[in-house]
Structure 1
Amino acid sequence: MYKFSSACLRQWATVFALRKHFTSHFTGFVRSAKLTMRTWDGTKALLPRVRWFNLTVLTVTPAIWLYGACTTTLRGSTLIWSIVYYAITMLGITAGYHRLWSHRSYKASRALQYLLILMGSSAVQGYTDTPLDPYNAKRGLLYSHIGWMLVKPTTKPGYSDISDLQKDWVVQWQHRWYFIVAALMGYVLPAVVAGLGWNDWWGGLYYAGMMRMTIAHHSTFCINSVAHYLGESHYDDRKTARDHFLSGKLRSATHHASCYHNFHHQFPMDYRNATKWYQYDPTKWFIAACAAVGLASNLHVFPDGEIRKSELSMVLKALKKVQDSIRWPAKAEELPVVSWDTYQEQAKKRALVVVSGFVHDVTDFVDQHPGGKHVLLKRVGKDATAAFCGGAYDHGNAAHNLLAMMRVGVLLGGIEHVKTITPGERLRIVKVLE
């Protein structure tokens, strides 16, 4: 199991803490498996950096589970207990080590603190997407998922102030008695509950213990990996954290309700990861419930207006991409300026009409005009502004936008006084701030 220590709470996470000797350097990273394993020399250089204890834990635990799966039948009661205990474990991480101790997003009573510290095992926090980040998502999916925990670092990790954790009596109590607490909560309790409850001691150990532990490990790891690869950035796309329903389900009742992982990276001090009460965030509901019964207080909420600004900026950025993919009408300064006489002369050769100071070539549209081509033809060579803008028919936005695409010139003495902007251009995004 992994040793939980106050010195690692803000930096990184696994489900069960490692020995203090290992966690004091728990920032292991490799550029990628491909880069380090290309040659035999690279392999030899990698081997001394392997964290064998971590590797052992992450292989032995699932191996014992698989052995149990082959030798012990999974009973329905044990499966339910495994699921319940998984949720309890992960709430300890999310509501406890992460949102309480790592981000101080709320205050908890002493009783709730003890409960959370027994429920959880480790915390997740680092310097995202930089060389100082112990699980930098930009170094690859495999690296950010598990590779950073298996190899000793080649760079010094970023600084994180944990002085408050070093003074926290509950955290230090857990640190002093970790091995006893870890053994009881990780191995003994799941087996005892299944054993005394329905006489399934081995099933409790294999499934509620090892299976739950393995799934909890990789569910947590998915936040460092999958939640940075799948989904969309609804609040800030400068970081790799994404919002995705699937990644949230992969870590049900866990770390960030990770379908809103991008929200967490933008507003880490908020006790929520989803602003609406109905949005999937079990940890938010748990903390709110604790507050309702007096076990939690001072629930931090980021100002709604600031959240909406971040959300709006990303909406506008997405709309800007759509806008740039659309063909827009020619601007007045891009068109030739023609006199009234020239306009009328040209109108004898093709169907030209003037609307709001612009000369439009409607030749290809005559037969498609909803009101019949005769309505359009009798306006050729004339100023049809009054008729088009309500005199004959009050045309809608689509008609105005379509007509603008037929611009071929500017009438001398006309457009200088009539500043026409099509409905499609009135809310046009001119610039997106980066």
Structure 2
Amino acid sequence: MKTPGKLAGFLSRVRWFNLGVLTITPAIGMYGLRTTPLRPQTLLWSILYYVISMLGITAGYHRLWSHRSYNASRPLQYLLALMGASAVQGSVFWWARGHRSHHRYTDTPLDPYNAQRGLLYSHIGWMLIKPTVKPGPADISDLRKNEVVQWQHRWYFAIIPVVGYGLPTVVAGLGWGDWWGGFYYAAMWRITFVHHSTFCINSIAHYFGDSPFDDRKSARDHFFSALLTMGEGYHNFHHQFPMDYRNAVKWYQFDPTKWFIATCGALGLASHLRVFPENEINKGELAMRLKKLKKVQDAIQWPVQVGDLPVVSWDSFQQEAAERPLVIVSGFIHDVGDFADQHPGGRSLVLSRIGKDATAAFCGGVYEHSNAAHNLLSMMRVGVLHGGVEHVRTISPGEKLRIVERMG
């Protein structure tokens, strides 16, 4: 009796409309692939309309309405609303509300596409199955007041047949007589690719790539995702600085959406392009670099700390030097026995300093030794000479910029 109940409960959670769109669309595309040749003109049109749809999502749904990273004129808002609707991913109002919850509750059960629930769930599962935990609330008062957002939301299901399916078909049909090709490739296949390219930001960009700004959350920079989504793949940056109209800040990084918004700004269609202070961006990047270097540092063997070395009198040093090769440099007693035969200047130069203070000779009197030599010598410390000897280099060159992790 429990099994039918569980099945009924599961079926009640299925988002049937989404399931239909996400399965029937590629299925029709597959049929077209088998029955209708892909013409070069149709391929180019499909790619162009893919870019148009993707910019509607990235520049419109995402950076304008979800994050308010710039202001758009009324004509540009209507254009972006139509371009975004052609991607058939829901209305701006629905899309932005969910995305704000994602940012506010990233990697928690309140995140509507929580990456912690697995790659498949974050990619598409969240759209097919209603969650057992309602996504966390987010402030959408601005979306409720936005005339364009509410207009598109109200007429969404009337708009998508026109811009999602009709327009790409009509252009190919009237343009070069490829009605079926326009329908199968510029409509169905384009929508399928736009869907899964966008979904990659929720899935792949939370699993693969780098975390150059903060690794506490799952969002990562992923170049392949950036290629697919007109620059959205620099996701680690975006989660750190979501109000920035850019996703990529370096000149060589691929972010056409940034270029599109900047062009709109130059044409007077957009204004108040928001950027996060460069100083703060550099702080985040530096912190992650230091964290990586800290791991390298922790794997390196360092000299014994001064406080852990025995303090030895001059007489005791003389007595011990008679039994093993000890040399004083900068107030430290060093056992150079294992190194004497490797000394570039020859064994005799080292042995001639046994039981003596070789600071002057080592620090330029005979030869100005390199940082590498100072680092190596510091690893030979076995004691500290007591009484009045100046410590020229108590810290080896390799330790001067040592990273210290502060608690609290």
TM-score normalized by the length of structure 1: 0.87
Residue 381 in structure 1 maps to residue 326 in structure 2: no
Identity %: 70
Residue 61 in structure 1 maps to residue 25 in structure 2: yes
Aligned to 1:178: 156
Residue 199 in structure 1 maps to residue 173 in structure 2: no
- Matches of 1:389 and 1:176 in 2, distance apart? 80
Aligned to 2:230: 253
Deviation at 1:431, TM superposition (A): 1.3
Which residue among 315, 318, 336 is the counterpart of 1:344? 318
- Matches of 1:348 and 1:147 in 2, distance apart? 77
Deviation at 1:43, TM superposition (A): 5.5
Kept in 1: contact 2:330–2:390 (CA 8 A): no
Deviation at 1:157, TM superposition (A): 1.7
Q: Secondary structure at the match of 1:159?
A: coil
- Matches of 1:266 and 1:304 in 2, distance apart? 13
Which residue among 53, 56, 62 is the counterpart of 1:89? 53
Kept in 2: contact 1:145–1:224 (CA 8 A): yes
Which residue among 248, 272, 280 is the counterpart of 2:246? 272
Aligned partner of 1:180: which letter? A
Q: Write out aligned runs for 1:211-250 (5 A).
A: 211-249=189-227
Aligned to 1:11: none
Which residue among 116, 138, 141 is the counterpart of 1:160? 138
Kept in 1: contact 2:36–2:181 (CA 8 A): yes
Residue 321 in structure 1 maps to residue 295 in structure 2: yes
Which residue among 61, 65, 70 is the counterpart of 1:106? 70
Specify whether residues 132 and 416 from structure 1 end up closer, same or farther in structure 2 by C-alpha distance, changes over 3 A only: farther
Specify whether residues 415 and 55 from structure 1 end up closer, same or farther in structure 2 by C-alpha distance, changes over 3 A only: farther
- Matches of 1:53 and 1:374 in 2, distance apart? 87
- Matches of 2:289 and 2:7 in 1, distance apart? 46
Specify whether residues 307 and 298 from structure 1 end up closer, same or farther in structure 2 by C-alpha distance, changes over 3 A only: same
Which residue among 75, 78, 84 is the counterpart of 1:120? 84
Kept in 2: contact 1:356–1:414 (CA 8 A): no
Kept in 2: contact 1:81–1:194 (CA 8 A): yes
Deviation at 1:331, TM superposition (A): 0.6
Deviation at 1:46, TM superposition (A): 2.7
Deviation at 1:238, TM superposition (A): 1.1
Aligned to 1:406: 380
Deviation at 1:415, TM superposition (A): 6.9
Which residue among 412, 421, 432 is the counterpart of 2:395? 421
Aligned partner of 2:193: which letter? I
- Matches of 1:373 and 1:247 in 2, distance apart? 59
Specify whether residues 211 and 432 from structure 1 end up closer, same or farther in structure 2 by C-alpha distance, changes over 3 A only: farther
Deviation at 1:185, TM superposition (A): 0.7
Residue 365 in structure 1 maps to residue 339 in structure 2: yes
Deviation at 1:279, TM superposition (A): 2.2
Q: Secondary structure at the match of 2:334?
A: strand
> Where does the alignment leave 5 or more consecutive residues of structure 1 unmatched?
1-38
> Where does the alignment leave 5 or more consecutive residues of structure 2 unmatched?
90-94
Q: Secondary structure at the match of 2:338?
A: helix
Kept in 2: contact 1:361–1:406 (CA 8 A): yes
What is the count of residue pairs matched by the alignment? 392
Q: Write out aligned runs for 1:280-295 (5 A).
A: 280-295=254-269
Aligned to 1:391: 365
Specify whether residues 266 and 185 from structure 1 end up closer, same or farther in structure 2 by C-alpha distance, changes over 3 A only: same
Q: Secondary structure at the match of 2:64?
A: helix
Which range is displaced more, 341-350 or 205-214?
Answer: 341-350
Provide Cα deviations, 1:127-183, integer angstroms capped at 9, x if missing partner: 211111001111111111111111112112211111211111111221222122101
Kept in 2: contact 1:146–1:221 (CA 8 A): yes
Aligned to 1:25: none
- Matches of 2:84 and 2:380 in 1, distance apart? 66
Q: Secondary structure at the match of 1:227?
A: helix
Kept in 2: contact 1:316–1:432 (CA 8 A): no
- Matches of 1:386 and 1:316 in 2, distance apart? 36
- Matches of 1:386 and 1:324 in 2, distance apart? 32
Kept in 2: contact 1:360–1:407 (CA 8 A): yes
Aligned partner of 1:209: which letter? A
Specify whether residues 381 and 53 from structure 1 end up closer, same or farther in structure 2 by C-alpha distance, changes over 3 A only: same
- Matches of 1:417 and 1:298 in 2, distance apart? 58
TM-score normalized by the length of structure 2: 0.92
Once superposed, what is the RMSD of the aligned Cα atoms?
Answer: 1.8
- Matches of 2:380 and 2:243 in 1, distance apart? 53
- Matches of 1:397 and 1:414 in 2, distance apart? 25
- Matches of 1:353 and 1:52 in 2, distance apart? 82
Deviation at 1:349, TM superposition (A): 2.5
Aligned to 2:14: 50
Specify whether residues 70 and 244 from structure 1 end up closer, same or farther in structure 2 by C-alpha distance, changes over 3 A only: same
- Matches of 2:110 and 2:130 in 1, distance apart? 14
Q: Secondary structure at the match of 1:409?
A: strand
- Matches of 1:405 and 1:52 in 2, distance apart? 69
Deviation at 1:307, TM superposition (A): 1.0
Specify whether residues 179 and 47 from structure 1 end up closer, same or farther in structure 2 by C-alpha distance, changes over 3 A only: closer
